[in-house]
Amino acid sequence: MQIIIDADGCPVTKIASRLAAEYSIPCTVICDTAHTISIPGVKTTTVDQGAESVDFRLVNLVQNGDIAITQDYGLAAMCLSKGAIVLHQDGKQYTEENISGLLEFRAVSKKIRRSGGRLKGNRKRTAEQDTAFETALRRLITQQTNTA
């Protein structure tokens, strides 16, 4: 098992890498050349800038039983198809049961934006979101290490 993080714009990279170190789990952070990420004990993979370059690298690295962290629904769906456990930065787990609805929501939102509509942006990140993420990731790690 390893933890792989879609780090472009990810506010929980440090939390995830800290937990990976605590449980002695290999951790890889993937970002594009617009970001510089260096965390001791964490492998950083930097890819060229491009619409989906980080996503493609992550999905090529992830394997059955790995934990992937992303806020991208499309990437989450691809990781699920490879047997990964996928977690959103707010601590919500993507599953086969909820991914279709999330992808549909994404498609509808894109259609609204294309037609000139506006959607509310994300609120400022809270400490409660960080706590929810840490709790969820710790639970997943514990579950995975107990079943291994």
Interval 57-73: pLDDT, tens: 999 999 999 999 998 88
User: Domains of the chain, with CATH numbers?
Assistant: 3-147 (3.40.50)
In whole numbers, what is the pLDDT of the chain averaged over residues? 88
Query: Which candidate, 48, 46, 50, places its Cα nearest to that of 28?
Result: 46
**CA-based R_g, the chain, Å:** 15
- Cα of first residue to Cα of last residue in the chain, in angstroms, is 9
Interval 90-127: pLDDT, tens: 999 999 888 776 667 656 666 666 777 776 666 788 99
Query: Which candidate, 126, 142, 139, 133, places its Cα nearest to that of 92?
Result: 133
